[in-house]
Amino acid sequence: MELDKFKHFSVFGNPIEHTLSPKIHSLFSKQTNIPCSYTAVKVPLNEFSNRINSFFNTIGDGANVTLPFKEEAYCFSDILTNRAKLTKSVNTLKKVKDEKILGDNTDGIGFLYDLNRLGFLKKNNKILLIGAGGAARGLLPSILSKNNEVFIYNRTYERAKKLAEEFRYLGKIQEVGYKDLSAIKAGLIIHATSYFFSKEKLILPSSLIHQNVSCYDLSYVKNSQTTPFLNWCKKLGAMNLANGIGMLISQAAYSFLLWNNILPDIEKIFAEL
Ligand code: NAP
């Protein structure tokens, strides 16, 4: 009987110190009895393709890619899944036949899984998406597929405008400026900026928060349920709050599925973490 090959996976990003991915993947590995290694690699900003090339040319079977390399990973891929083509960004790479590299994006499906779990996913909802970087791009096709009306706000207005134009063919989406925010009564606010890392303040009008709004922060702080954005929402009376851990676990589970053909039991991992 042929034994399954021990597989090697890594997550590549910068910064990477905060990542929980190695822990999550070791829980998946235990749960499914698929032995594999999973390490975190901090990549200097201009070194992405060198590092990922040498990983796949030596031990690598699959990789996750995080901030700020998802668009580079898209260009690096030889073959793309439909999800990756739609988002033009890649968070999961897999070595496939003939040493080719397949690029996928599991952020959107992971995010929808988590919204469903939390009961935040309503039909015909108004959604305010704050941020227009790689994470926002990764989510847009999924949230637009649910018939939602999306308003996108970003510090750099032009970037929000560009993203709205790019995804308008998939549903209702419009860019908004700071002055427009006070007129928006969204049922769901998704915070997808990295201001956290920049140590600057994110300034938003308090009128965005009302009792029935759900607030989802893609960021998370290790060993904490909350984040500065969620603290701000809570102080203003929001009651439905969630950080990005759920999305992190769910997108990781769909990467694991791509690599190993098994979807781990996501609920069990929530309990264990
Ligand atoms: P990115 O591509 O670098 O984009 C950064 C975004 O944050 C841009 O919209 C940028 O606005 C904005 N921003 C940065 N500093 C800001 C500040 N001081 N004030 C206001 N806006 C600011 O990063 P990303 O990949 O989109 O990631 C965004 C966040 O999502 C990160 O915290 C990341 O960890 C998180 N994330 C979580 C998951 C998960 O599974 N939970 C998955 C993906 C990402 P400008 O355009 O004006 O620069």
Residue among 128, 155, 156, 181 whose CB has most ligand 1 atoms within 8 A, to mutate: 155
Q: What is the pTM of this model?
A: 0.93
- Single out the catalytic residue among 23, 30, 42, 70: 70
CATH superfamily for 7-105+251-272 is Leucine Dehydrogenase, chain A, domain 1 (3.40.50.10860)
25-76 pLDDT, tens digit each: 999 999 999 999 999 999 999 999 999 999 999 999 999 999 899 999 999 9
The domain made up of 108-242 has a fold known as Rossmann fold (3.40.50)
Model confidence at 94: pLDDT above 80 = yes
For range 197-209, the mean pLDDT: 83
pLDDT at 177: 98
Domain boundaries, the chain: 7-105+251-272, 108-242
Q: Any idea what DSSP says for residue 150?
A: E
**Residues in contact with ligand 1 (CB, 6 Å cut-off):** 67-68, 107, 131-136, 154-156, 159, 192-196, 198, 200, 202, 218-219, 244, 247-248, 251
| CA 152 and chain centroid, separation | 16
CB atoms within 10 A of CB 97: 7
pLDDT at 198: 59
Question: Are 188 and 128 in contact, with CB atoms under 8 Å apart?
Answer: yes
Nearest CA to ligand 1 atom 46: 156
204: burial class by Cβ within 10 Å (0-12, 13-18, 19+)?
buried
Model confidence at 224: pLDDT above 80 = no
Nearest CA to ligand 1 atom 17: 195
Q: What percent of the chain has pLDDT over 70?
A: 97
Amino acid at 267: E
* Residue whose structure tokens are 């999305």: 247
Model confidence at 163: pLDDT above 70 = yes
**CATH topology identical between 7-105+251-272 and 108-242:** yes
